């Protein structure tokens, strides 16, 4: 693959780190683990009974202790802002005190080491307090994104057998109040194993308090603020995080303590080159793995100050994100390509009207970033002076696996490429038979050696863990993603291997096609899907969101088609193009491509509780109805 490069970095160049990792990856990860606090040292660095790993066997540590007790208590941990304008500043000392109180409250309710606690809260500091309180006493937390429905919550609570749920009366989203407590009440009807529900007063709405319910204030403020951290085995489970469950039962990804903390603390330092003076802002919700690793744990373990925001980043208008950066003098921004494409739609004038000069490093997560979006981020937001880290990883990997690392080394950056694997991680791009493909050839991304952040297993289902991740290429972890390694060794992620259209015998990745579509200067967002075609097998349907002020014409449509034909080939020509004002997205900003597939195939669209705006679905459904009429 050919790409222009950008030579920009922060002046670091630690060649020893990669050399050490290549020489002995286990010893290398031991060195990183020693930067954490351990109550007792480990005896065995890695116990590998493929496909099950245990890192730092015999060592005892605690995530809450590493995040709070060892930090400067006077330093600001969280700069919090609510969509409704509320603001709070929380120091490490205050966070520690509240965490200890909640931990004692949980213990008074009978929670012991190994018990599960479900957390269903908006993005408020008490969410981090809840996570760290569980970790402090060895309870396993399972956070559920506050946009999920009662049915989704019930599935997760039932699978984990959580004894306690921590929630709020409500939360704010786009000017509306989400009635969280009411949703929980519906979810846990007849679930007798749920002993108590702790309710935070957040939105000041009327709620029904049942026998098992406790007010946060009563439970926490009346508890003592002295609570020693449990000395936990390195392999003790820290949390269960459920995947979306769009097909069948959601998978409960189980992560340990010592290996996970080692991985996310090291990658946080390497990727963000974190300084004591930084103000870090990751836009992810803690309900997803990015929020676990690079909001709840990574920044705190590294003693960082971070911005935490409850609400939509474009509400009440598209200036909100840039206002936050200006107000708190954010130095590091970590967000999604989807969010950037949305902001691109509104043009440059809005971000250019704010002082973004505090920014020194930019990052993306969640999906491959289109080169045109990368360049906009670099030029308009970073003013051509901020390195961009395009990170690839998964819920299952725990932390970053592929990324530029400004805190470790300076390398030329290629727009759209995640660059190289992090030190200590061995990845390959292979064909169906497991043989490495030649440079610039698409293949499947696999991981060939265990790494500290890897999942222990799937909660209660070792057999499925083996089948999903380790059966396709025995001995190697199958990521389920397509990738290309170019002639310089840079990795290019092409999206999920199952997000593929089969047109006249050709396999075309949706990510590759969507990237081509948004590279047109008039298009800000794109989503594609396939519909049945008697001749080709599948025909390509594209939904495009034009930038603000762009006139939709036949000329524009033809330009987009010609661009795809040139960049990918005539076989990738969309049969139909629809211009829409918005795409169906989750509240975390990801395009819900499965809805497009379901509508195209006349299938049930399933759970849409995380859908941000139902009007987007209605608009696209109208387009499909028109298509069906045309096809007879």
Q: Dmax of the chain from CA atoms?
A: 71
Q: Nearest Cα to 563, choosing from 521, 500, 598?
A: 521
Residue 30: count of CB within 10 angstroms of its CB: 17
Contact between 529 and 602 under an 8 Å Cβ cutoff? The reply is no
In this structure, CATH architecture of domain 15-484: 3-Layer(aba) Sandwich (3.40)
- Which of 124-128, 134-138, 339-343 comes out lowest in average pLDDT? 339-343
**Summary mean pLDDT of the chain:** 91
- Which of 164-173, 262-271, 341-350, 537-546 comes out lowest in average pLDDT? 537-546
For CATH 3.30.300.30, list the domain ranges present in the chain.
499-631
Q: Which is higher by pLDDT, 14 or 515?
A: 515
Mention every residue, 6+ apart, whose C-beta is less than 8 A from residue 228: none
For residue 30, whether the previous peptide bond is cis, meaning omega lies within 30 degrees of 0, is: no
- Which of 37-46, 176-185, 301-310, 503-512 comes out lowest in average pLDDT? 503-512
For CATH 3.40.50.12780, list the domain ranges present in the chain.
15-484
What confidence category does residue 615 fall into, taking pLDDT thresholds of 50, 70 and 90? Answer: low
pLDDT tens sequence across 67-109: 999 999 999 999 999 999 999 999 999 999 999 999 999 999 9
Tell me, what DSSP letter sits at residue 217? H
- Which of 306-310, 376-380, 603-607 comes out lowest in average pLDDT? 603-607
Q: Which is higher by pLDDT, 176 or 258?
A: 258
- pLDDT (0 to 100) of residue 3: 66
Please check the confidence at residue 529 and state whether its pLDDT lies above 60.
yes
Instruction: State how far the Cα of 188 lies from the Cα of 184, in Å rounded to an integer.
Output: 6
Q: Which is higher by pLDDT, 499 or 229?
A: 229
Q: Give all strands (DSSP E) within 382-434, no chain letters.
A: 388-390, 427-430
Give how far the C-alpha of residue 600 lies from the chain's centroid of Cα atoms, to the nearest Å.
27
pLDDT tens sequence across 423-432: 999 999 999 9
Please check the confidence at residue 26 and state whether its pLDDT lies above 70.
yes
CATH of 499-631, one of 3.20.20.140, 3.40.50.280, 3.30.300.30, 3.40.1160.10: 3.30.300.30
Contact between 450 and 35 under an 8 Å Cβ cutoff? The reply is no
Give how far the C-alpha of residue 54 lies from the chain's centroid of Cα atoms, to the nearest Å.
24
Query: How big is the chain by its Cα radius of gyration, in Å?
Result: 24
């Amino acid at each position: 693959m050919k790409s222009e490069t950008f030579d920009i970095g922060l002046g670091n160049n630690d060649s020893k780190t990669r050399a050490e990792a290549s020489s002995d990856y286990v010893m290398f990860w031991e060195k990183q683990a020693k930067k954490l606090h351990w109550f007792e040292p480990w005896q065995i660095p890695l116990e590998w009974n493929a496909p099950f790993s245990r890192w730092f066997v015999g060592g005892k540590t605690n995530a809450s202790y590493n995040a709070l007790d060892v930090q400067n208590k006077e330093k600001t941990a969280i700069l919090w802002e609510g969509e409704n304008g509320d603001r709070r500043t929380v120091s490490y000392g205050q966070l520690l005190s509240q965490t200890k109180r909640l931990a004692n409250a949980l213990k008074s309710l009978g929670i012991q080491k190994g018990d599960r606690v479900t957390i269903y809260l908006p993005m408020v500091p008490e969410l981090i307090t809840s996570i760290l309180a569980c970790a402090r006493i060895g309870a396993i937390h399972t956070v559920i994104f506050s946009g999920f429905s009662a049915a989704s919550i019930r599935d997760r609570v039932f699978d984990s057998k959580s004894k306690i749920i921590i929630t709020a009366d409500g939360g704010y989203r786009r000017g509306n109040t989400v009635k969280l407590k009411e949703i929980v009440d519906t979810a846990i009807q007849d679930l007798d194993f749920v002993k108590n529900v702790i309710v935070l007063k957040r939105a000041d709405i009327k709620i029904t308090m049942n026998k098992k319910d406790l007010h946060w204030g009563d439970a926490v403020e009346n508890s003592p603020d002295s609570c020693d951290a449990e000395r936990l085995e390195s392999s003790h489970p820290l949390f269960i995080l459920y995947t979306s469950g769009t097909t069948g039962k959601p998978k409960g990804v189980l992560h340990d303590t010592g290996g996970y903390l080692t991985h996310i603390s090291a990658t946080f330092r390497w990727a963000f080159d974190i300084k004591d003076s930084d103000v870090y802002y990751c836009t992810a919700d803690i309900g997803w793995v990015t929020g676990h690793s690079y909001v709840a744990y990574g920044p705190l373990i590294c003693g960082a100050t971070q911005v935490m925001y409850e609400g939509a980043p474009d509400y009440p208008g598209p200036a909100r994100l840039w206002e936050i950066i200006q107000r708190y003098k954010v130095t590091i921004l970590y967000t999604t390509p989807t969010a950037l494409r949305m902001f691109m739609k509104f043009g440059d004038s809005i971000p250019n009207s704010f002082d973004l000069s505090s920014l020194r490093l930019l990052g993306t997560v969640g999906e491959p970033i289109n080169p045109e979006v990368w360049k906009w981020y670099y030029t308009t937001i970073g003013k051509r002076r901020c390195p961009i880290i395009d990170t690839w990883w998964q819920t299952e990997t725990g932390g970053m696996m592929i990324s530029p690392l400004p805190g470790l080394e300076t390398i030329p950056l290629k727009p759209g490429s995640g660059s190289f694997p992090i030190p200590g991680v061995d990845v390959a791009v292979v064909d169906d038979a497991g043989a490495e493909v030649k440079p610039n050839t698409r293949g499947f991304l696999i991981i060939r050696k265990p790494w500290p952040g890897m999942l222990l297993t799937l909660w209660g289902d070792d057999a499925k863990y083996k089948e999903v991740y380790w059966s396709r290429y025995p001995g190697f972890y199958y990521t389920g993603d397509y990738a290309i390694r170019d002639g310089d060794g840079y990795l290019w992620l092409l999206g999920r291997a199952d997000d593929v259209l089969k047109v006249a015998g050709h396999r075309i990745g949706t990510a590759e096609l969507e990237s081509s579509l948004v590279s047109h200067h008039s298009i800000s967002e794109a989503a594609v899907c396939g519909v049945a075609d008697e001749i080709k097998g599948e025909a390509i349907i594209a939904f495009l969101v034009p930038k603000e002020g762009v006139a939709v014409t036949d000329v524009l449509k033809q330009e987009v088609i010609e661009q795809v034909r040139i960049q990918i080939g005539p076989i990738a020509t969309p049969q139909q193009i629809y211009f829409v004002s918005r795409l169906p997205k989750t509240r975390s900003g990801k395009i819900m491509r499965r809805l497009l597939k379901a509508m195209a195939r006349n299938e049930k669209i399933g759970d849409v509780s995380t859908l941000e705006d139902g009007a987007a679905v209605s608009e696209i459904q109208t387009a499909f109805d028109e298509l069906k009429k045309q096809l007879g």
